[in-house]
């Protein structure tokens, strides 16, 4: 690295400061999540205690047992209170099916959107397209109508095509929502890779698709990773369309979470347990994808 000129000591000090700073900033952003994760093992009064405690409370796994283990909350209510209680029927809190549905839809739509958006982004970057500015804006505009007014017409359309409560329907919709972001994002990553690379490859006998593939594999990993993470997250979090286009046979995590706020109260514990449970797989996914967000290569050799 270029910093070799500096002394080891300076370098070291710099890293420590940066690391500390990075730690502080990311922990500030992480704090609400930590609080939420802790809430998933706290009894209700403890969740609503101010200031919140990191330690020193009686942890409970009841929320998780119901949300992930399909345990009957009635039973826990007897154990802890001696009677059945609010939220006694447990069927609606058991969340493995919601997690499964969300996972299928998010993974499916992410794959679909990458599959369709990457070539489009490449074309926008490499070919001369008449009125490409208008095309780009049109693509972007597909994300501009608020879901509030899109939901009902989509519902009618889905009804006619038999797509209500189907994975493929939700995957198509989420892919369409994410396509504009994916196309524009990937396009700007392609733009960073000099065209000469493609041309050199094609002179060497590669087909157009071969050139595309080469660029993709070598320079777009970070871009693809970032796009995949974002598409996945947007699909995972999308609420209104998932609500309207399903009737409970397929049910995603945000829609399920919304029913944890009942007519009279919020079931904090169940909500926190589901929230925590749904965060862990994504966290692992992000950690795995992280290594593709690596530094780009030096392109000097080409010029």
Q: Which of 100, 120, 166, 167 binds another protein (CB under 8 A)?
A: 120
Under DSSP, the state recorded for 298 is P
Query: How far apart, in whole angstroms, are the C-alpha atoms of residue 253 and residue 256?
Result: 5
Q: Could you say whether residue 141 binds another protein (CB under 8 A)? A: yes
59 is a site residue for another protein (CB under 8 A): no
Restricting to residues 80-99, name those near another protein by CB under 8 A: 80-92
189 to 218, contacts with another protein by CB under 8 A?
A: 189, 191-192, 197, 200-201, 204, 206-214, 216-218
- Total residues interacting with another protein, rule: CB under 8 A: 159
Q: How far is the CB of 190 from another protein (least distance, A)?
A: 10
Helix (H) / strand (E) containing 194: none
Q: Does the bond joining 120 to the residue before it have cis omega, within 30 degrees of 0?
A: no
Q: 108 Cβ partners below 8 Å, 6+ apart?
A: 167, 168, 171
> Are the CB atoms for 187 and 117 separated by under 8 Å?
no
Q: What is the closest distance, in whole angstroms, from the C-beta atom of residue 182 to another protein in the complex?
A: 9
54 binds another protein, rule: CB under 8 A = no
Residue 7 binds another protein (CB under 8 A): no
Residues 61-80 that bind another protein (CB under 8 A): 72, 74-75, 77-80
Q: What is the DSSP string of 41-108?
A: TS-HHHHT-SSPPSSSS----HHHHHHHH---HHHHHHHHHSS--TT---TTT--HHHHHHHHHHHHH
CB 46 within 8 A of CB 60: no
Q: How far is the CB of 235 from another protein (least distance, A)?
A: 11
78: CB partners within 8 A, 6+ apart: 84
CB of 207 to another protein, least distance (A): 5
Q: Hey, which residues between 145 and 184 contact another protein (CB under 8 A)? A: 145-150, 152-157, 159, 172-173, 175-176, 179-181, 183-184
Contact pick of 8, 9, 29, 54 for another protein (by CB under 8 A): 29
């Amino acid at each position: 690295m270029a910093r070799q000129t500096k002394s080891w000591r300076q370098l070291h000090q710099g890293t420590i400061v940066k690391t500390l700073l990075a730690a502080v900033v990311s922990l500030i952003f992480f704090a609400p999540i930590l609080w939420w994760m802790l809430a998933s093992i706290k009894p209700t009064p403890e969740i609503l205690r101010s200031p919140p405690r990191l330690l020193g409370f009686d942890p409970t796994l009841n929320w998780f047992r119901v949300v992930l283990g399909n345990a009957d909350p009635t039973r826990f209510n007897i154990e802890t209170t001696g009677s059945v209680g609010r939220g006694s029927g447990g069927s609606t809190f058991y969340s493995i099916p919601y997690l499964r549905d969300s996972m299928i839809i998010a993974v499916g739509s992410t794959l679909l959107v990458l599959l369709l958006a990457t070539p489009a982004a490449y074309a926008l970057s490499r070919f001369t397209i008449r009125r490409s500015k208008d095309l780009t804006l049109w693509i972007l505009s597909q994300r501009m109508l608020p879901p509030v007014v899109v939901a009902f017409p989509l519902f009618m359309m889905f009804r006619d095509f038999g797509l209500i409560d189907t994975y493929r329907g939700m995957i198509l919709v989420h892919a369409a929502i994410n396509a504009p972001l994916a196309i524009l994002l990937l396009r700007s990553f392609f733009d960073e890779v000099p065209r000469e690379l493609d041309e050199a490859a094609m002179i060497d006998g590669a087909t157009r698709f071969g050139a595309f593939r080469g660029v993709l594999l070598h320079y777009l990993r970070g871009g693809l990773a970032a796009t995949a993470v974002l598409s996945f997250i947007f699909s995972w979090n999308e609420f209104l369309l998932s609500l309207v286009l399903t009737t409970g046979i397929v049910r995603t995590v945000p829609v399920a979470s919304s029913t944890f706020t009942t007519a009279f109260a919020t079931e904090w514990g169940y909500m926190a347990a589901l929230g925590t449970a749904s965060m862990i797989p994504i966290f692992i996914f992000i950690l795995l994808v992280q290594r593709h967000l690596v530094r780009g290569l030096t392109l000097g050799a080409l010029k």
